[in-house]
Amino acid sequence: MKKWKKFLVLAISGVMIAMALAGCGSSSEKSDSDAKVEDVSTRTVYVSPQWVNAAQNGKVKGYKNVKVFEVTYTGKLKDSKSYKKGHVPGAMLIGDTDVEDAVGSQEEPYNLLKPEVIEANLLKHGITKDTKVVLYGEDPSGVARVAYGMIYDGVEDVKVLNGGLDAWKDAGYDTETDVNKAKAATDFGVAVPAHSEYWTSMTDAKAKLQSDSNFKLVSIRSKAEWLGKTSGYSYIDRAGEPEGAVWGKGADSAADVNGYMKDGKVVDLKTLQNGLWKDVDFTMDNHLAFYCGTGWRACVPFLICYQEGMDNISVYDGGWYEWQMYGDNPVQVGDPASDNCQHTTVSQLPTDKAAKN
């Protein structure tokens, strides 16, 4: 064979080998090279898998050393079947219990933990106010709860992988089963809570309902809960809503936020205003204090509004769980716009409204 033919064969072979090797790269690498990721601000919360992948690979300006966490209830490996099965490469574990009390009592309701405790837990995970955090998990409201707790304490840039691991895999990205652990940090960088304005206490909610016409206590609960047919929870015996509350809709049960989702992803504010919130008893000009039963569902609309730059928003953290612990708290049972809405107090409510397991 002539020399030029040998050279041609070798060249073609080299190209084919290079193409084959390129094809063996991770799907994350392939997708990232072609994907155009969305522009985001510090307050953007819900982001695409393409954005997360690009940020992990250092291809988003200002987002080096992004820390990704899978949210499970306890954040412990033994309790995290989904993480052990396969997770976003590099992801570490964090728990809802890192930001909230998991027991609940009249002395310590099912609220966020004290800011100093949240701070200590975040530092164990290597998180400070300046850490670029990305969260995801199986329960969008549980993930929102952790995101809210971080923002409340002072983490300045918290993102959520919209659609979770399913969206990540649907985008063609790989998973891993390696267990990743964070290196603890020592200085959070700001006095906590940095954003106490995002947290509404029961005392403040009661006072504002009486004195502030611009304040709206927005229930993010199912229709059955809103109308007082069930508490929604097996451990809450009484049903109803704080008197003066308005309905933000969005849940089919105490365990979902289906009305705030489309195709497995949390929707944006414009979509809400044109759909679920098209006919509600509040506007974006009101101070909106979202609540539900124990705080999870309420955090989803909070984050949707937060990422639009709204500051007239908060979470009434104790929710119905805390409200019904106090016998003299005023209650409405039924649609407040109807003639048959009952106005009473917690102590007068029947105690047979717990949800059946």
Which residues are known to be catalytic? 292
3-state SS of the chain?
CCHHHHHHHHHHHHHHHHHHHHHCCCHHHHHHHHCCCCCCCCCCCEECHHHHHHHHCCCCCCCCCCEEEEEECCCCHHHCHHHHHCECCCCEEEEHHHCECCCCCCCCCCCECCHHHHHHHHHHCCCCCCCEEEEEECCHHHHHHHHHHHHHHCCCEEEEECCHHHHHHHCCCCCECCCECCCCCCCCCCCCCCCHHHEECHHHHHHHHHHCCCEEEEECCEHHHHCCCCCCCCCCCCCCEECCCEECCCECCCCCCHHHEECCEECCHHHHHHCCCCCCCCCCCCEEEEECCCCHHHHHHHHHHHCCCCCCEEEECCHHHHHCCCCCCEEEECCCCCCCCEEEEHHHCCCCCCCCC
Dihedral sign from CA coordinates of 140, 174, 150, 63: negative
Asked if residues 195 and 147 have their Cβ atoms less than 8 Å apart, the reply is no
Q: Report the distance separating Cα 66 and Cα 51, nearest Å.
A: 11
d(CA 47, CA 151): 16
Strands 287-291 and 313-316: parallel
